[in-house]
Amino acid sequence: MRNLHDEIRDNVARALLEDIGAGDLTASLIPEGKELSAVVTSKEDAVLCGVQWFEACFLTLAPETIITWFANDGEFVHAEQKLCEIQGSCRDLLTAERSALNFLQMLSAVATQTKHFVDAIVSTRAIIVDTRKTLPGLRLAQKYAVTCGGGINHRMGLYDGILIKENHIIAAGGIQAALNKVRATAPPGTIIQIEVESLQELQEAITAGATMVLLDNFALNQLSKAVILTHQQPGERVILEASGNITLDNVRQVAETGIDRISIGGLTKNIQAIDLSMRFKESR
């Protein structure tokens, strides 16, 4: 897996190239050498996330830019709270502004959404887990944001964990055949999870030696029965993860069935950017 520093550098480079292209035509209206300071404010309650991406947008264009933060990633901020002050070249600040805010608004939205789900299931045994349903090219960034909101990362990609889904099972010739094949070929220590769609398939997976099972679109009563079923099995209890049609309205009920993990694609794909404001003023 790539380190976060390299990922931020590449994310920001692509964003700036996409926005600036051959040059910022509007920035040419500003006298060269003019300096400005700016203040970024949150217009709503949120969990802040994306500080490093935000900074990199400005520092890539103008390393001498000074940014002073009044909150950190993972901290809850309130509406009208000042997040940071920026001072530097007026042209560079204006050129980097949109890309920087895009990162901060989007990643704060992911962190905030995650925090809502985490808070909704407090005092239960369940944890909130993300998925691979991320914006293309921004997976590591969004998964970082999930952790800032108190969630847990599932596998980063197809390379660091195995999730045997319905189509894999069909192609392999059944649950037992799929698990046998994976256990014979997976690198040592690889997490192996299999998806099932009924209690019958859950029992089949347990009999086949599954240690982690994804319960896809199970109703609440089915989730409760699945938990009871795993408790009745000999040996170490199978880890159960619920997924599918889980919202803030029902996530507490899902958690109270005794499930271990709840995976939610909406943490990273169904988000609304946090409303932030960046306003400039003359430097003294």
CATH of the domain at 91: 3.90.1170.20
Is there a catalytic annotation at residue 195?
A: yes
> What are the backbone angles phi and psi of residue 242, rounded to the nearest 5°?
-95, 145
Mean pLDDT in residue range 134-139: 96
Task: Tell whether the torsion through CA atoms of 169, 225, 237 and 148 is positive or negative.
Answer: positive
Distance between CA atoms of residues 195 and 205, nearest Å: 9
Q: How confident is the model at residue 282 (pLDDT cuts 50, 70, 90)?
A: low
Together in a domain, 114 and 28: yes
Rg (CA), the chain: 23
Is there a catalytic annotation at residue 14?
A: no
Together in a domain, 253 and 156: yes
Distance between CA atoms of residues 110 and 238, nearest Å: 29
Distance between CA atoms of residues 179 and 202, nearest Å: 13
User: Which domain does 164 fall in, by range?
Assistant: 120-269
Q: How confident is the model at residue 283 (pLDDT cuts 50, 70, 90)?
A: low
Together in a domain, 108 and 12: yes
Number of H helices, E strands in the chain: 10, 12
* Mean pLDDT score of the chain: 95
Together in a domain, 82 and 102: yes
Active-site residue, selected from the candidate residues 92, 97, 216, 260: 216
Together in a domain, 144 and 264: yes
Together in a domain, 85 and 71: yes
Together in a domain, 32 and 131: no
Active-site residue, selected from the candidate residues 14, 165, 183, 281: 165
Together in a domain, 101 and 188: no
Among candidates 169, 186, 167, 189, which has minimal Cα distance to 178? 169
User: The domain spanning residue 207 has which CATH number?
Assistant: 3.20.20.70
Residue 28 has pLDDT above 90, yes or no: no
- Interval 152-199: pLDDT, tens: 999 999 999 999 999 999 999 999 999 999 999 999 889 999 999 999
Is there a catalytic annotation at residue 115?
A: no
Q: How many domains in the chain?
A: 2
Together in a domain, 127 and 264: yes
What's residue 284's pLDDT? Answer: 52
Is there a catalytic annotation at residue 165?
A: yes
Is there a catalytic annotation at residue 216?
A: yes
Residue 243 is which amino acid?
S
Q: pLDDT > 70: what percent of the chain?
A: 99
Together in a domain, 154 and 264: yes
What tokens were used for 29? 């209206």
Distance between CA atoms of residues 107 and 101, nearest Å: 10
